Amino acid sequence: MAKTFKATKFQILTKIVIPSNISTFINSLKVNIGLSLVGVISGEFLVSKAGLGYLIVYGGQVFKLDLVMTSVIILGIVAGIMYGAVLLLEKIIMKTKAA
């Protein structure tokens, strides 16, 4: 229908495609927060000299469970904060979209 009114591809993208897929974008962000943290920590496991992944590996090697558990708890807190930020973003966007 937009093409019959001579809409450009950019107008179709910004006025139809993106607004109709906002919920998909938000849900993808929710899932990928955890996956991005897994990727970062996996990279730190392999080649890092600092960071939470390094602390987990080092704590496991020297049998210091406190280092391992503290790192895992910090990861959980960071993931929770990032997920909360996406939920807040979703509320703001959906409130704006509904208005």
Mean pLDDT for back-to-back runs of 10 residues, the chain (99 residues): 84 87 89 86 82 85 89 90 92 79
Q: Which two tokens stand for residue 81?
A: 């904060």
Task: Enter the DSSP assignment of 51.
Answer: S
Instruction: Name the residue with tokens 């509904």.
Output: 98
Q: Where are the beta strands (DSSP E) in the chain?
A: none
User: How high is the pLDDT of residue 98?
Assistant: 66
Element (H, E) at 1: none
User: How high is the pLDDT of residue 86?
Assistant: 92
Long-range contacts of 39-46 (CB under 8 A, 24+ apart): 41/75
What pTM value is reported for the model?
0.74
User: How high is the pLDDT of residue 46?
Assistant: 82
Task: Enter the DSSP assignment of 88.
Answer: H
User: How high is the pLDDT of residue 73?
Assistant: 92
User: How high is the pLDDT of residue 19?
Assistant: 85
User: How high is the pLDDT of residue 77?
Assistant: 93
